[in-house]
Amino acid sequence: RGVGVLLEELKAFMDRMGILVRGDDGVIVTSGSQQALYLLSAVLLNPGDYVVVEKPTYLAAVGVFKLLGARFIPVDMDKDGMVVEELEEKLKRAKAEGLPVKMIYTIPTAHNPAGTTMPDDRRKYLLELAEQHDLIVVEDDPYGLIVFENVSFTKLKSLDRSGRVVYLGSFSKILAPGFRLGWAVGLEELVSAMEKLKQYVDLHSSTLTQYIATECLKQRIIERSIEVMRMVYREKRDAMLEALEEHMPEGVDWTRPIGGFFVFAWLPEKIDTRKMLRKAVEKGVAYVPGYAFYVDGSGHNTMRLNYSFPQVEEIREGVKRLAGVVREELL
């Protein structure tokens, strides 16, 4: 389940970060949060079960669900994340049709790929619907601590009153991706089942990296580095948004993230971002075509832009070149 001292430091860290760990919760350390998602899904899902996902959603999560034979109920997003009114209607329809819906998978804070953050009223509504339909809610939160703006929101895990939320955390974005360390918090019976499955998958996560993470938590190294990351990524986010505003033609829209690494953009319907990618690469810029994040095959005119890796001037120049490619496509 994890080195004991790390589990204790994780609980203290989550408390400092405003993530509520209930008395009947268990905590498990995993080989990245991706493994946590796999273990939880393998425990909960049978082939043919349905998972509610956002449209768009995290590509690697879709891969896990497909591997386990799950089917999807996609729900649209707007600037505030999942449209919960649509979620309500789709859950009613699924219930009327007798579909076996098991979980809601969501990235409510600094979404990948959309960059959106869900306000508290919408989070509460989502949890009410989960309660009505007896569903587990998976709160995937790899970017939740890298928020730049002074915006108030509460983790779904902290709003949960009935033990429905399983929280997935990751050291990849706040310490080192190469450590492959993540964690999950949920009802003890779920975590216990995940622990048994993990023993068959890899016995346990790296003891060495667990002890390194323990010291980083104990000495507050991670919290200090988070403050630096917020400043660095805020500057890069600002550069990308300013460049998009300056260079993109009419008919292009994009998200304005308050955290995370990504801006998601919608181009005019006539543009297929898969086909446009080759031309962009020829100009020295790249993006991820958005269709890959849509489980229903839509999103042909969308793309994910990443501002975490390039330098500020590279971001400005890259957006300028990309805008030129978009203009050529519109001719």
- Cβ atoms 285, 273 nearer than 8 A: no
- Cβ atoms 73, 80 nearer than 8 A: no
Place of tokens 């809601």: 104
Q: Quick one: 195 and 312 in the same domain? A: no
What's the CATH number where 94 sits? 3.40.640.10
Q: Quick one: 264 and 127 in the same domain? A: no
Q: Quick one: 157 and 265 in the same domain? A: no
Q: Quick one: 194 and 238 in the same domain? A: no
CA distance 125 to 132: 11
Q: Note the pLDDT of residue 244.
A: 99
Q: Note the pLDDT of residue 325.
A: 98
Q: Quick one: 71 and 158 in the same domain? A: yes
Q: Quick one: 88 and 155 in the same domain? A: yes
Q: Quick one: 192 and 300 in the same domain? A: no
104, 106, 88: which is closest to 96 by C-alpha?
Answer: 88
Place of tokens 């849509």: 294
What's the CATH number where 231 sits? 3.90.1150.10
Cα→Cα distances 238→123, 173, 233, 258, Å: 27, 19, 8, 10
CA distance 305 to 83: 22
Q: Quick one: 215 and 248 in the same domain? A: no
Q: Quick one: 165 and 270 in the same domain? A: no
Domain residues for the domain of 171 are 4-219
56, 58, 55: which is closest to 41 by C-alpha?
Answer: 58
Q: Note the pLDDT of residue 99.
A: 98
Last residue of a domain, one of 219, 249, 278: 219
Last residue of a domain, one of 185, 219, 253: 219
CA distance 194 to 289: 34
Q: Quick one: 194 and 307 in the same domain? A: no
Q: Quick one: 149 and 267 in the same domain? A: no
Question: Domain tally for the chain?
Answer: 2
Q: Note the pLDDT of residue 199.
A: 96
161, 96, 99: which is closest to 131 by C-alpha?
Answer: 161
- In tens, the pLDDT along 227-266 reads 999 999 999 999 999 999 999 999 999 999 999 999 999 9
Q: Note the pLDDT of residue 150.
A: 87
Q: Quick one: 99 and 27 in the same domain? A: yes
Splitting the chain (331 residues) into consecutive groups of 10 residues, what average pLDDT does each group show?
97 96 96 98 98 98 98 98 99 98 99 98 99 99 94 96 97 94 98 98 95 97 95 98 98 97 98 98 98 97 98 99 98 90
